[in-house]
Amino acid sequence: MSRYRVLVTLKPALLDSAGRAVNDALHSLGFAGVKDVRIGKLVEIEMAEGGRAQVEEMCKKLLANPVIETYEIEDPA
């Protein structure tokens, strides 16, 4: 059994409105050292069969929108 973790985030050039809202809230709470916040999603996939190539295909077909998002796949430990 293999467990992959996929981190999906907006491309750096795109405005992350959720990240901006969190950034502003952190500043209002006194965390002045925060420079930027980006919000993403973490997807954990446990597979009985297959491997990284299948997870890559899942990302391309469903888990990430290649127009606005990037993704990183963390291999099982």
CATH assignment of 2-74?
3.30.1280.10
pLDDT value of residue 49: 85
d(C-alpha 25, C-alpha 13), whole Å: 22
User: pTM for the whole thing?
Assistant: 0.84
| Distances, alpha carbon 53 to alpha carbons 12, 31, 41, 49, 66, in Å | 25, 41, 20, 11, 17
Domain regions of the chain by residue span: 2-74
Task: Give per-residue pLDDT as tens, 56-69.
Answer: 999 999 999 999 99
